[in-house]
Amino acid sequence: MDDFLRAGRFDEKMTDDAAAFSTSIEFDQRIFEEDVKTNRAHTTMLMEEGIIPEDAGVKIINALNKLESEGLSALNIDPSFEDIHMAIEDYVTNLVGKEAGFMHTAKSRNDQVCTDIRLKLKSEIENTTKNIKQFITTIVEMAKENLDTLFIAYTHLQHAQPTTFAHHLMAYANELRRDCERFYDTYKRVDISPLGAAALTTTGFPINRQRTAELLGFSEVMDNSIDSVSSRDFVAEAAFDYAMLATTLGKIADEIVIWSSYEFRMVECSNAYSSTSSIMPQKKNPDIAELARGKSTVAYGELMTILSMLKAIPHSYNRDLQELTPHLWNTVDNTNDILKIVHGMVATLTINKERTKQLASENFATATELADIMVREKNLPFRSAHTIVGKIVSDSIEKGITTEDIDNEFVNKVSEEILGEPIELGEDLIRQALDPALNVKSRTVKGGCAPSAVRDAIDNMEKFLNE
C-alpha cells in the first residue's frame, strides 16, 4: 500500500475520496513498461557508480525483469496507490524486501514520471510517423495509376480549373509529409532525459545522468533540473502536431463525403466504409468519413485543455501536471484511429473517371487558359484578356452555349466590343485552350498538374519515404 510513503510524516490515512481524487493509477498504466525501464536504468547506474550495494541492485533488477516478463497484470493495482511508481515499488518490495528501497535513491517521482512520459511519447511518435508514411505510400501508388485521370479542382467549392486525380492526391501526400516532419521536429525536444533532476535540484549523490540517458536511448540530458521536472511544453507541442494531423485527415474525409454525393458522383466509397439508412433502403451513406471528420475535432479540445492547464503554473513541479497526460494519450489514440480509418477509405475508393472527365470539361473550367493564350500569342495585357474572357463566359451563359460552341468568330465579336478590334486567335488555338486534357498537359511548371510535373513530385516524395 501507499502507507509506507505517508508513515513518516503523517499519523493518519488519506480519506477514501481524497485518495480516489488524487490517484493517477488508471491512466498511469499506459507508462508501465517505461517505468520499469526507468527504474532498471537508474538502478543500473547506481550500482555502476557504487552508490548502492551491488547485491541489492542485482536483486532489484531481477525483480524488475521478472515484472517486465509478467506484465502489468502482475501488479497490485490498488486504488489507494497514488501512481504506477508506487505499485511497481510495492511489487519489488514484496520480492526483495526492504532493500527495494535502494531503488529510489537519488530519484524522485517528479523526474521519474517525466522520463516515463517522454519515453512513451517517443514511441508513440515513431508509431504515428510510420503510419503516416504508409498512408503516403498508398497515395503515391494511387497517383501513379491516375496521372492522366482528368479531375476538376475547386476554389470556394466552385469549378476552378481542370487537373488530374493524381495531382489532387499528391496535395494530400505533401500535407501528410509536413505533418510527419512536424513530428520529427517535436521528437528532438521530446528526446531529452530529465532523469537525475530528482525532485527539482538534482541530488548530492554522484550520479551519472549521461549513463541513464544512454541506457534509456535519449540523445541528450536536460540542462536545468527545475526545467526538467516542470516543463511540459513538449506535451503541448506533440498535441498540436496531432491536432494538425487531424486537420489534414478531417479535410480528406470531408472531400470524400462531398465527392461521393449524387450531385458530385466523383468517387464511391467501399461498402466496407459505408452504411445504409434504417428507413431508406436505397441509401449508401459515407458514415465512416463523416465520423472521421467529426472525431478530428477531439484533438483541438484536448490541445486547448493542455494549454489551459500549463498556463501560469509556477516552477517547479505541481500536481496539476498529472492531469495533462490523459488528455495527451486521448489525443494520440483518437488521431491514430482516424489515420488508420482514413487510410483505409482512401485506399479503397473507386474513382468515376467518366464523371470527373465530364466535370473537368464543363462550366468553363478552361477559361483561364483562353486568357493565357491571348497573352502568350497576342501579347495582350492579362487584365484585358481577363475582361474579354469574362465577357465570353457571361455571353455564353446568357445564350445557353458551352465551351464547345465558342469559336473564333465568337471570340472576335467580344474582342471588338472590348478592344475595338478582333483578336484573331484562330480555331486551333481556341480549341487547344478550351480542351481540358491539353490544359492539364501545359501545366509543366514545378508543382503543376501535368503528368510530367506530377511524376517529378512523386519522385521527390519517394525520396522522402525512403529516407
* DSSP-derived 3-state class of residue 285: strand
Amino acid letter, 86: M
257: closest CA among 285, 231, 237, 283?
285
The verdict on whether 42 is a catalytic residue reads no
Residue 201 burial (C-beta neighbours within 10 Å; 0-12, 13-18, 19+):
exposed
Of these residues, 69, 73, 156, 278, which one is catalytic? 156
Asked whether 461 and 140 are in contact (CB, 8 A), the reply is yes
Distance CA 105, CA 269 (A): 58
Alpha carbon of 69 to those of 66, 72, 93, 237, 260: distances in Å?
5, 9, 17, 33, 49
* Cell numbers describing residue 220: 541528450
Q: Does residue 260 have a cis bond before it (omega within 30 degrees)? A: no
Phi, then psi, of 192 in degrees rounded to 5: -135, 130
Of these residues, 123, 261, 270, 277, which one is catalytic? 277
Distance CA 115, CA 370 (A): 62
Longest pairwise C-alpha distance within the chain: 101
Distance CA 454, CA 173 (A): 12
The verdict on whether 24 is a catalytic residue reads no
* DSSP-derived 3-state class of residue 277: coil
229: closest CA among 82, 326, 112?
112
Which residues are identified as catalytic?
156, 277
